[in-house]
Amino acid sequence: MLSFFKEYKYFGIVLLILSAIIITIIYSILKPEKVLPIYQPSMVNFEMVDSTVQYKSKYHKIADFSLINQNGETITQKDYQDKIYVADFFFTTCQTICPIMTDHMVQIQKEIMNDDELMLLSHSVTPGIDDVAQLKRYAIEKGVNDTKWNLVTGDKKQIYELARKSYLAVKTDGNGDEYDMIHTENFMLIDKKRQIRGYYDGTKPEDIEQLLKDIKVLKKD
């Protein structure tokens, strides 16, 4: 009996290794691909969502817009047609979380520079201060590439409604001032159908890493 096991020892080892390889291949084939959620207003913290859309549970998309970028050019949804993009809300004079968020946007810009499917879009929540000249100075200072990243200003009502009704990403301070906004650290990942596919903390490196991974997932979708 002992001689039998000795004779077939190597065969058994090979069979064991082969079995492990086959199991791994089967698992990789059967393992479901990650699919990103499609965020609806009812899925998001109500503080970030305008009351008129808080309970909407399907068919939510980013609304049409017309804003002005750092070069004085009109930017609309057509400039982002068939693009995956990352959006956020900021203001150039912010000294708290904005510098960190902008640095992380610069990091994302570097990662997507050679990918024509990907862009960035940053909305000023203080358009009265952030005119074209101010945005241009900020863009130059931060290394914004005009072909990949638009910093936009414009009508405050429109930006407010985009923030609260489309991107579901900005708070109000509750003091009753018309179109008053408190920007948050949120980065939003938007797909080619203008749907929100992810929220990320723009101040956290680990969230930026996850965002970059999710972009790859979305490109396969």
123 is in an annotated binding site: no
Beta bridge partners of 122: 88, 151
**Tokens for 212?**
């970059």
Return the residue matching tokens 């997932």: 217
For the sheet containing 84-90, what is the strand order? 149-152, 118-124, 84-90, 186-190, 196-201
Q: How far is CA 116 from CA 48, 74, 120, 195, 199, in A?
A: 31, 20, 12, 19, 22
104 is in an annotated binding site: no
Sequence-distant (6+) residues with CB within 8 A of 139 are: 70, 146, 149, 151
List the alpha helices (DSSP H) in 40-112. Answer: 98-112
98 is in an annotated binding site: yes
List the alpha helices (DSSP H) in 80-153. Answer: 98-112, 132-142
CA distance linking residue 158 with residue 152, whole number of Å: 12
Residues of the binding site: 94, 98, 183
Residues of the binding site for Cu cation: 94, 98, 183
